[in-house]
Structure 1
Amino acid sequence: MDASLLQCEHRGATLTLWLNRPEVHNAFDEHLIAALTEALRAADADSAVRVVVLAGHGKSFCAGGDLDWMRRMAGFSHEDNLCDAGALATMLATLAGLSKPTIARVHGAALAGGTGLVAACDIAIATPEARFGTTEVRLGLIPATISPYVIRAIGARAAQRYFLTGERFDAAQALRLGLLHEVCEADTLDARVQALAEDLLAGAPQAQADCKRLVADVAGRGIDPALIDDTTTRIARARGSAEARAGIAAFFDKRAPDWRS
């Protein structure tokens, strides 16, 4: 992984991945995409990492695709564009599918692919000055690879508007749409992210991974006998797990469970 593009900061069981191209507002190209994919996979495989925070150095979180990268893409063959777009789609899927909880720490611009990164995280918190937008249409492009995550976050109706207009919107609107969970002042952003990370560390790691799969599998499904059977099986399996036995025993013993030590 190229440390000049992406910096890893460990603080206890929390890993912060800092996008580190401030001179271009952390816009990503094929190299940053590869570095972030590698770092996410490594974090998922590291049992010492419990929470992953995605952040950006400089004035912005992520301004989307790098202009030089997009200029080069215009000259690619169809096969080359498939490969290049596949790398971006893989990075987003890796982020969204991480077994550990993820937090987007957002400030400044979070445009196009930057909006996609926010939507692909489990929890998103931003400063009031943050700005969002699926601006691809204004360059003759479409927000295809980020669309599953943005639509999941804000719904099809809102996505239809913002995909078509390419207009930018502020943090207050992002909160109303569901893209953000919280907005806080810049001088309290790091403290709020840390507090959220501490809340996440209080949960059992396997239970959190199962919760992420539960949401992904249940969202949008009709409540029918198949879904009821599925969720019944999931809670029965969780009740019988070693993690649940340890957590319940710790509760009655009035002590912290093992995963909090």
Structure 2
Amino acid sequence: MQFHTLKLSIEDKVATVTLDRPDVRNAFNEQSIAELTLAFDGLGRNDSVRAIVLAANGPAFCAGADLNWMKKMAGYSHAENHADALQLARMLRTIYLCPQPVVAKVQGDCYAGGMGLVAACDIVITAEESNFCLSEVKLGLIPATISPYVIKAMGENAARRYFLTAERFSAREAQRIGFAHEVVPADTLDAKTAELVKALVSNSPNAVRQAKALVRDVAGKPVTQELLADTAERIAHIRASEQGREGVQSFLEKRKPNWLN
């Protein structure tokens, strides 16, 4: 794949997608949205990739929408704005539904649509110097397209505040409200990310994918007979799977499972 707004590398079963427009604080436009969609769609189809890291070059992680793109949008018709927003929505959904676990490594400030990118990931590690902001209402806009992911990540109560006030908040506050999982000094961000990724790739690839889908499918649902039947079917299916059998057998035999070979 040939990319112009990001870099993609794969090493030791781990893919790294790096936003690479540091001169505009990694703000996104039509091209970067299309390239992120293409990158994550392709990685999701690559069974040799066991985990994905979403990172960024430069002092900022992502400043949201590119100013030149916003200038163009100001002249769009309703239909053009709707089509444009759908492209962003598809990109976020592609990241969210990616079969492999996606780790956001946030090395700098993360604003507006950048928070949507992070919220679509599964695990968020941020440098303690990073700041976050849902700044849309300052511009007379709303964080509509990113809202399904951001609200899932920070919860409705926190979203009520930060969607409405457009306050900037710290990495520690992001962790307190559940948006970020880990906050570390900037000089340990790479090491902490590597540690977490190592844990991910040590687990059964099939089980990790199924566990990711389980959280997505079960979260927020009432405990009905249908849900009980569904979860029972999932565990029955994975117990009988090749990796399910291998995992239990290797544990009983006190040896490494074959997916670590």
> Structure 1-normalised TM-score?
0.97
Rounded to whole Å, the distance in 1 between the matches of 2:255 and 2:243 is 15
Q: Counterpart of 1:194? A: 194
Q: Counterpart of 1:85? A: 85
Q: Counterpart of 1:97? A: 97
Rounded to whole Å, the distance in 2 between the matches of 1:150 and 1:255 is 41
Rounded to whole Å, the distance in 1 between the matches of 2:226 and 2:5 is 46
Q: Counterpart of 2:142? A: 142
SS at match of 2:99: coil
| Residue identity (%) | 49
Kindly report which structure 2 residues correspond to 1:218-257, keeping only aligned pairs within 5 A, or say none: 218-257=218-257
Rounded to whole Å, the distance in 2 between the matches of 1:256 and 1:90 is 39
Corresponding letter in the other structure for 1:66:
D
Q: Counterpart of 2:168? A: 168
Q: Counterpart of 2:38? A: 38
Q: CA deviation at 1:121?
A: 0.5
Rounded to whole Å, the distance in 2 between the matches of 1:255 and 1:203 is 14
Rounded to whole Å, the distance in 2 between the matches of 1:260 and 1:70 is 47
For residues 90-141 of structure 1, what are the alpha-carbon distances to aligned partners after superposition, in whole Å with 9 as ceiling and x for unaligned?
0000001000000000021110111111111100000111111111111111
Rounded to whole Å, the distance in 2 between the matches of 1:216 and 1:46 is 21
Rounded to whole Å, the distance in 2 between the matches of 1:258 and 1:43 is 23
- Where in structure 2 are there 5+ consecutive unaligned residues? none
Q: CA deviation at 1:142?
A: 0.7
Q: CA deviation at 1:2?
A: 4.5
Rounded to whole Å, the distance in 2 between the matches of 1:78 and 1:2 is 32
Rounded to whole Å, the distance in 1 between the matches of 2:2 and 2:176 is 37
Corresponding letter in the other structure for 2:12:
G
Corresponding letter in the other structure for 1:103:
V
Aligned length: 261
Check if 1:112 corresponds to 2:112: yes
Rounded to whole Å, the distance in 1 between the matches of 2:79 and 2:35 is 22
Runs (4+) of structure 1 exceeding 6 A deviation are none
Rounded to whole Å, the distance in 2 between the matches of 1:224 and 1:8 is 43
Check if 1:129 corresponds to 2:129: yes
Q: For structure 1, which segment, 183-192 or 207-216, has the greater mean C-alpha deviation from structure 2 after superposition?
A: 207-216
Rounded to whole Å, the distance in 2 between the matches of 1:88 and 1:259 is 35
- Where in structure 1 are there 5+ consecutive unaligned residues? none
Q: CA deviation at 1:202?
A: 1.3
SS at match of 1:229: helix
Rounded to whole Å, the distance in 2 between the matches of 1:256 and 1:131 is 41
Q: Counterpart of 1:4? A: 4
Q: CA deviation at 1:224?
A: 2.4
Rounded to whole Å, the distance in 1 between the matches of 2:57 and 2:10 is 16
Q: CA deviation at 1:253?
A: 2.8
Rounded to whole Å, the distance in 2 between the matches of 1:48 and 1:115 is 28
Corresponding letter in the other structure for 1:217:
D
Rounded to whole Å, the distance in 2 between the matches of 1:239 and 1:137 is 49
Rounded to whole Å, the distance in 2 between the matches of 1:16 and 1:168 is 28
Q: CA deviation at 1:243?
A: 1.2
